[in-house]
């Protein structure tokens, strides 16, 4: 097994694709975990399922659908296609700053430096010919942000495959739900044309049922965090927040089942992830994908656990009338508006404020942090409204800390830790 | 009749004050997808918000952070510090920054005396048979709200009359643009931007009269003969004529633009359909090329830029993008190669609302002019 640096080198030289890199890295992690931490294998299995599925889609006779923003993955799956969420690439590479840097630099030949690092990596990697995947279709949405609204249409032209795009309404209301339901019908016509198959409602129902199961379990996992001490590590919040891509597959439910089992065992034993829990942190923004180890460090160093974050925290929108086509499509639309990164960030700020208020009421944190990704400018532009509410209703100040979720050159893990440490020592612990 | 007011581009409250003194409402508008026709039909003065000459947006930065576009931040600054004296604000989700100006203004208003009318309308990012009815419904909400605010009924006849007025202004501005096709035009790019910006300082009737006076006098104006190159200017919202002045002082005469406060804000006439006037307004505002926020109009915008370069005989394009303006920030992905293919030189520059980098712009503009100027 080659060293990770060697693998990175191969990708940098263009001798290995990102897909091969991800699959090889995941296999290596699984091998290590089997030896050292077999109880946690479930955290890697989902990643293997995803990346092997992308790589082997064509080999398995399935069409590969690239998608960006929030799109109804249930429909993609119901047409027997494999959906590849573009953000999966920057998520995966975020712990390899030399790779993200390469693709960001490639994108910045054309786009402004202030564009979100996720979009820059997606664009730069495609322009570098590094994906190792060739899509059959592309579906995107006009969310989450202005960066993606520029990057996706540009990629549509560059990739040059049949493309469908959603227009997401800004507000969350009945008109918007009807509008999105209409667009679901358009998407189905598009999928039928490009797959050659009619929509099989029973298959769609199967994936909608899976989505219901997964979100029910996700809510149960979230509810475990109400316990004091909190039985689940902050790191899992980061993982749960990035699960859009597989939200309708049984394996997602399996992950939550394992998470629930592990968490419930801790509760039953009266144990928390911190030896002596002192601080319960609410993350108003939580995009530290490249430095998720900071969660472990806060637990160890300060007995401080992130109990919930406004990035991955979701409501419980479920499919209720599975034989009512219109109702299902409206629910699908509402779910799209309620995805992580969409719900609190790309609609009216009052949603973000309400989301955080719910978190404070439910999880009773005593520390408030806004670890804001610099590319997420519109979220920063809501931050004062959110933190004012936290101060006024819950009497807590908020740490604002800027970081780049993807580009490790912006701020290192040590710099982030130093700023958090200063906050703990000068504000929280006084 | 003196038309000098057309060249006063500083923000003025004079018209809004006079309008409100008559017991009528004046509302701020952000940005290109809020139809002014609906305001005039309600006898409301629409004031398109801008931030010309804003040099300190620190109060707004407290709300929107340093990571926001400085144009949007500066508008919020002017809203907060009372530079604008208006009855409220109507915002479309042109971009996320515009949306956050709305969110913050609404939040601040509700926690204060809640005296302002603040409303948001959703503008789709695609123009097609699905999106037009949605936008029409949003515009109907605006009509309902303005009727309630003013007590004035907005009829189709009033909308058509307002569209006719706005079309008259559009046609007159386009006539001024035509003057710039000349080898030695009688209006500089700096003055042209002042002229289009001044539309936000006065009611449309007054604007129309001033434009007519200017056009009648145009033949008496001295042609500009000392430029070295003809430039087309494209990019983010530009509401500061001083920016163009820096380029023109180096010999680059700006003869065409694709700016939302310039040519694109006026555009073609709105043709109303008697069967459904509001749908024709919705369609017009989604179809017109103003801002790359529209996901399905990038290629059309690039076609427009190339055609304008040809029509106005521009020697090159300056593409200015505001830091943190993502809508315009990504155009080079496709545009750069297209311009290369067409043999059109391109200069890309970053800027801030505050004219912080005028010296750098001056040097780069001079070098670009030297590169593209042609011997006569």
Q: Do A175 and B64 touch (CB under 8 A)?
A: no
pLDDT at B241 over 90: yes
Strand, helix or coil at B239? coil
Domain boundary among B101, B120, B153: B153
Written as six digits, the tokens of B361 are 């712009």
A1 pLDDT band (50/70/90 cuts)?
low
Give me the mean pLDDT over the B169-175 stretch: 98
pLDDT at B231 over 70: yes
Same domain, B304 and B206: yes
Among chain B residues, CA nearest to A374: B67
Same domain, B142 and B172: no
Q: Which fold has domain A4-195?
A: Rossmann fold (3.40.50)
Written as six digits, the tokens of B151 are 């007590």
Q: Do B130 and A183 touch (CB under 8 A)?
A: yes
The pLDDT assigned to A241 comes to 62
Same domain, B47 and B67: yes
B283 pLDDT band (50/70/90 cuts)?
very high
Cα B344 to chain centroid, rounded = 25
The pLDDT assigned to A382 comes to 95
Written as six digits, the tokens of A30 are 């699984």
- Given CA atoms B99, B101, B104, B107 in this order, what sign does their dihedral have? negative
| Alpha-carbon gap, residue B244 to B234, rounded angstroms | 11
pLDDT tens by residue, A136-179: 999 999 988 899 999 999 999 999 999 999 999 999 999 999 99
Long-range contacts, B277-280 (Cβ 8 Å, 24+): B277/B156, B277/B159, B277/B160, B277/B163, B278/B136, B278/B139, B278/B140, B278/B143, B278/B156, B278/B159, B279/B132, B279/B133, B279/B136
pLDDT tens by residue, A180-198: 999 999 999 999 999 999 9
**What residues of chain A, 159 to 188, have a C-beta less than 8 Å from chain B?**
165, 167, 169-171, 175-176, 179, 182-183, 186
Q: Which residue has the tokens 């059109």?
A: B344
CATH number at residue B109: 3.40.50.11890
DSSP 8-state code for residue A412: -
Nearest to B327 among A146, A171, A176 (CB): A146
Q: Do A167 and B336 touch (CB under 8 A)?
A: no
Same domain, B92 and B193: no
Whether the ω angle into residue A123 lies within 30 degrees of 0, i.e. cis, is: no
- φ, ψ for residue B32 (rounded to 5)? -90, -5
CA–CA min distance B333, chain A (Å)? 5
What pTM, to 2 d.p., does this model score? Answer: 0.95
Q: Is residue A152 within 8 angstroms of chain B, CB to CB?
A: yes
| Alpha-carbon gap, residue A302 to A1, rounded angstroms | 37
Q: Do A382 and B295 touch (CB under 8 A)?
A: no
User: Which of A116, A142, A157, A170 to mutate to probe the B interface, most B CBs <10 Å?
Assistant: A170
Q: Do B65 and A179 touch (CB under 8 A)?
A: no
Same domain, B115 and B55: yes
Give me the mean pLDDT over the B186-209 stretch: 97
The pLDDT assigned to A153 comes to 94
The pLDDT assigned to A76 comes to 97
Same domain, B116 and B181: no
Same domain, B129 and B254: no
pLDDT tens by residue, A254-303: 989 999 999 999 999 999 999 999 999 999 987 788 888 999 999 999 99
The pLDDT assigned to A288 comes to 85
pLDDT at B162 over 70: yes
B310 pLDDT band (50/70/90 cuts)?
very high
pLDDT tens by residue, B50-62: 999 999 999 999 9
Q: Which residues of B touch A147 (CB under 8 A)?
A: 326, 329-330
The pLDDT assigned to A45 comes to 87
The pLDDT assigned to A246 comes to 77
DSSP 8-state code for residue B297: -
Domain limits at B348? 158-372
Q: Which residues of B touch A381 (CB under 8 A)?
A: 63-65, 67-68, 96-97, 100, 103-104
Same domain, B360 and B261: yes
Task: Share the mean pLDDT of chain A.
Answer: 93
Q: Do A182 and B69 touch (CB under 8 A)?
A: no
Question: How many structural domains compose chain B?
Answer: 2
pLDDT tens by residue, A28-49: 999 999 999 898 888 888 889 9
pLDDT at A132 over 80: yes
What residues does B46 pair with on adjacent strands?
A: B27
pLDDT at B375 over 80: no
Q: Do B99 and A378 touch (CB under 8 A)?
A: yes
Give me the mean pLDDT over the B120-124 stretch: 97
Nearest to B177 by CA among B250, B252, B254: B254
Written as six digits, the tokens of A233 are 């590590």
Among chain A residues, CA nearest to B132: A179
Of A221-230, A251-260, A308-317, B227-236, least confident by mean pLDDT is A308-317
Same domain, B138 and B187: no
Strands, E assignment, chain B = 26-30, 45-48, 88-92, 117-121, 229-235, 252-258, 316-322, 346-351
Domain boundary among B135, B153, B171: B153
The pLDDT assigned to A238 comes to 74
A311 pLDDT band (50/70/90 cuts)?
confident
Same domain, B190 and B231: yes
Same domain, B45 and B188: no
Interface of B with A (CB under 8 A): 62-65, 67-69, 93, 95-97, 99-100, 103-104, 107, 120, 122, 124-126, 130-131, 134, 137, 292-293, 295-296, 298-299, 321, 323-327, 329-334, 336, 350
pLDDT tens by residue, B246-271: 999 999 999 999 999 999 989 899 99
Q: Do B295 and A152 touch (CB under 8 A)?
A: yes
The pLDDT assigned to A2 comes to 59
B3 pLDDT band (50/70/90 cuts)?
very high
Q: Which residues of A touch B108 (CB under 8 A)?
A: none
Nearest to A175 among B137, B298, B326 (CB): B137
pLDDT tens by residue, B354-367: 988 899 999 999 99
pLDDT at B281 over 80: yes
Give me the mean pLDDT over the B327-344 stretch: 93
Same domain, B90 and B194: no
Give me the mean pLDDT over the B212-221 stretch: 97
The pLDDT assigned to A346 comes to 82
Domain boundary among B153, B176, B194: B153
Q: Which residues of B touch A176 (CB under 8 A)?
A: 122
CATH number at residue B222: 3.40.50.11900
Nearest to A284 by CA among A394, A373, A386, A361: A386
Written as six digits, the tokens of A150 are 């520029």
The pLDDT assigned to A314 comes to 67
B272 pLDDT band (50/70/90 cuts)?
very high
pLDDT tens by residue, A315-327: 678 999 999 999 9
Q: Do B332 and A111 touch (CB under 8 A)?
A: yes
A242 pLDDT band (50/70/90 cuts)?
low
Residues 6+ apart with CB under 8 A from B233: B189, B244, B247, B254, B256, B257, B258, B259, B262, B317, B318, B320
A430 pLDDT band (50/70/90 cuts)?
confident
**Domain assignments of chain A as residue spans, ordered by start:** 4-195
pLDDT tens by residue, A65-92: 999 988 999 999 999 999 999 999 999 9
| Alpha-carbon gap, residue A218 to A315, rounded angstroms | 10
Give me the mean pLDDT over the A8-15 stretch: 95
The pLDDT assigned to A286 comes to 76
Nearest to A378 among B100, B134, B295 (CB): B100
Give me the mean pLDDT over the A86-101 stretch: 93
């Amino acid at each position: 097994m080659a060293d990770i640096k060697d693998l990175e080198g191969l990708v940098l030289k263009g001798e290995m694709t990102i897909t091969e890199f991800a699959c090889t890295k995941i296999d290596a992690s699984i091998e290590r975990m089997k030896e050292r931490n077999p109880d946690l294998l479930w955290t890697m299995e989902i990643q293997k399922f995803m990346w092997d599925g992308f790589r082997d889609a064509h080999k398995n006779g399935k069409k590969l659908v690239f998608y960006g923003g929030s799109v109804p993955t249930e429909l993609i799956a119901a047409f027997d296609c494999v959906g590849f969420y573009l953000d999966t690439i920057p998520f995966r590479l975020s712990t390899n700053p030399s790779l993200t840097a390469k693709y960001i630099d490639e994108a910045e030949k054309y786009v402004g430096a202030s564009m979100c690092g996720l979009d820059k990596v997606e664009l730069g990697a495609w322009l570098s010919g590094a994906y190792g995947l060739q899509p059959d279709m592309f579906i995107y949405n006009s969310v989450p942000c202005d960066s993606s609204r520029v990057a996706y249409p540009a990629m549509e032209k560059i990739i040059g495959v049949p493309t469908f795009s959603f227009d997401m309404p800004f507000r969350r209301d009945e008109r918007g739900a009807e509008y999105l339901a209409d667009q679901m019908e358009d998407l189905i016509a598009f999928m039928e044309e490009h797959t050659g198959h009619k929509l099989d409602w029973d298959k769609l129902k199967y994936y909608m049922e899976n989505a219901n199961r997964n979100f029910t379990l996700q809510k149960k996992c979230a509810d475990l965090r109400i316990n004091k001490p909190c039985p689940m590590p902050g790191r899992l919040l980061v993982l749960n927040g990035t699960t859009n891509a597989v939200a309708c597959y049984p394996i997602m439910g399996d992950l939550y089942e394992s998470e629930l089992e592990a968490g419930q065992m801790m509760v039953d034993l009266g144990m928390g992830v911190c030896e002596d829990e002192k601080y319960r942190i609410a993350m108003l923004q939580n995009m530290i994908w490249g430095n998720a180890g900071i969660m472990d460090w806060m637990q160890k160093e300060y007995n401080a656990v992130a109990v919930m974050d406004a990035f991955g925290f979701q409501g419980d929108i479920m499919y209720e009338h599975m034989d009512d086509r219109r109702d299902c499509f409206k629910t699908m639309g509402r779910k799209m508006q309620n995805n992580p990164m969409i719900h609190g960030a790309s609609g009216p700020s009052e949603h973000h404020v309400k989301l955080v208020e719910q978190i404070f009421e439910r999880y009773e944190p005593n520390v408030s942090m806004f670890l804001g990704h610099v590319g997420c400018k519109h979220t920063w532009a809501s931050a004062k409204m959110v933190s004012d509410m936290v101060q006024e209703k819950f009497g807590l100040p908020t740490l604002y800390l800027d970081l780049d979720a993807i580009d490790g050159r912006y701020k290192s893990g040590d710099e982030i830790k130093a700023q958090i440490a200063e906050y703990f020592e000068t504000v929280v612990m006084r | 009749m003196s038309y000098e007011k057309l060249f006063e581009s500083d923000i003025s409250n004079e018209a809004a004050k006079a309008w409100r003194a008559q017991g009528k409402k004046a509302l701020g508008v952000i940005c290109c997808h809020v139809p002014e026709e609906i305001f005039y039909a309600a006898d409301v003065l629409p004031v398109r918000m801008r931030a010309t000459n804003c040099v300190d947006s620190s109060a707004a930065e407290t709300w929107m952070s340093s990571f926001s576009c400085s144009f949007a931040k500066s508008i919020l600054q002017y809203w907060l510090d009372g530079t604008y004296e208006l009855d409220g604000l109507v915002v479309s989700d042109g971009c996320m920054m515009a949306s956050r100006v709305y969110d913050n203004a609404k939040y601040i208003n509700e926690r204060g005396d809640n005296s302002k009318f603040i409303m948001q309308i959703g503008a789709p990012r695609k123009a097609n048979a699905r999106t037009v009815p949605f936008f029409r419904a949003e515009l109907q909400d605006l009509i309902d709200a303005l009727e309630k605010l003013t007590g004035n009924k907005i009829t189709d006849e009033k909308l058509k009359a307002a569209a006719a007025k706005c079309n008259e202004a559009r046609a007159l501005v386009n006539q001024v643009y035509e003057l710039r096709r000349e080898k030695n035009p009688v209006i500089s790019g700096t003055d042209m931007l002042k002229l289009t910006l001044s539309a936000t300082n006065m009611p449309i009737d007054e604007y129309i009269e001033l434009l007519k006076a200017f056009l009648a006098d145009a033949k008496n104006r001295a042609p500009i003969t000392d430029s070295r190159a003809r430039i087309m200017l494209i990019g983010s919202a530009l509401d500061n004529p001083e920016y163009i002045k820096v380029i023109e002082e180096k010999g680059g005469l700006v003869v065409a633009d694709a700016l939302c406060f310039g040519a694109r804000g006026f555009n073609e006439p709105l043709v109303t359909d008697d069967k459904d006037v509001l749908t024709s307004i919705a369609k017009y505002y989604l179809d017109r090329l103003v801002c790359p926020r529209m996901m399905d109009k990038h290629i059309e915008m690039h076609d427009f830029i190339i055609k304008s370069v040809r029509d106005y005989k521009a020697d090159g394009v300056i593409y200015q993008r505001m830091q943190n303006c993502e809508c315009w920030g990504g155009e080079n992905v496709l545009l750069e190669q297209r311009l290369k293919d067409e043999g059109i030189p391109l200069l890309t520059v970053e800027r801030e609302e505050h004219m912080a980098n005028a010296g750098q712009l001056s040097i780069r503009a001079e070098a670009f002019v030297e590169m593209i100027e042609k011997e006569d």
